[in-house]
Amino acid sequence: MRIAFLVAPEGVEQVELTEPWKAAADAGHEPVLVSTEQGEIQAFNHLDKADTFPVDEVVGDASADSFDGLVLPGGVANPDFLRLDEKAVAFVKSFFEQGRPVAAICHAPWTLVEADVVRDRTLTSWPSLRTDLRNAGATWVDEQVQVCEGGPNTLVTSRKPDDLKAFCETFLDVFAKTRG
């Protein structure tokens, strides 16, 4: 299974990229780093620079058709940057239009809000996104992991790095069940 990990050139919370990436790779899947620019992305440990990672595909050249699912890692700056990039937003929206599963953690649902794909869905996130998600028509819950099967696809969301174990197990299970 080929899984897109969409991140901005900088600002992704490193552990929210590396743990799901490792979980996908360990399960025998092919994780692919997609970003808005070529080269490398700069990850962060909260506000401190962490490691860099090479970009595999640029979002403007990528298509949801070539992936079985999408993972959106968090970090405050990462989704804020992505939601201002029309190609990134269109890429995210295309997974919903094609009925492909999506997983988002922490602040990543900001990008989902911009793609207008949260209305009538139940999500969790970092608590500061609660009002944004409700204003976009979603139901927000404070749970470790939330699976929303309503709508055209299955959406898995989690709140924070402490939820990563449950997030990884759940999105891998959901992606495997919805693979088509």
Q: What is the 3-state secondary structure (H, E, C) of the chain?
A: CEEEEEECCEEEEHHHHHHHHHHHHHCCCEEEEEECCCCEEEEEECCEEEEEEECCEEHHHCCHHHCCEEEECCCCHHHHHHCCCHHHHHHHHHHHHCCCCEEEECCCHHHHHHCCCCCCCEECCCHHHHHHHHHCCCEECCCCEEEECCCCCCEEEECCHHHHHHHHHHHHHHHHHHCC
For residue 150, the model assigns a pLDDT of 75
What's the domain count of the chain? 1
Say which CATH number the domain at 160 has: 3.40.50.880
Residues of the chain scoring pLDDT < 70: 179-180
Report pLDDT for 151.
75
Report the pLDDT value the prediction gives residue 178, as an integer from 0 to 100: 82
Say which of 29, 106, 148, 168 is annotated catalytic. 106
**Choice among 29, 107, 148, 168 that is catalytic:** 107
pLDDT at 117: 97
pTM, full prediction: 0.97
Domain region containing 70: 2-178
Q: Is 168 a catalytic residue?
A: no
Closest CA to 149 of 125, 126, 178, 169: 178
Angle, vertex CA 43, rays to CA 131 and CA 47, nearest 5:
60
* Per-residue model confidence (pLDDT) at position 66: 96
Pairing of strands 69-72, 102-105: parallel
Closest CA to 117 of 134, 100, 88, 138: 138
**Beta strands 139-140; 10-13: pairing state:** unpaired
φ, ψ of residue 37 in degrees (nearest 5)? -140, 155
User: How many residues make up the chain in this entry?
Assistant: 180
Catalytic (active site) residue 107: yes
pLDDT of residue 52: 98
What's residue 152's pLDDT? 80
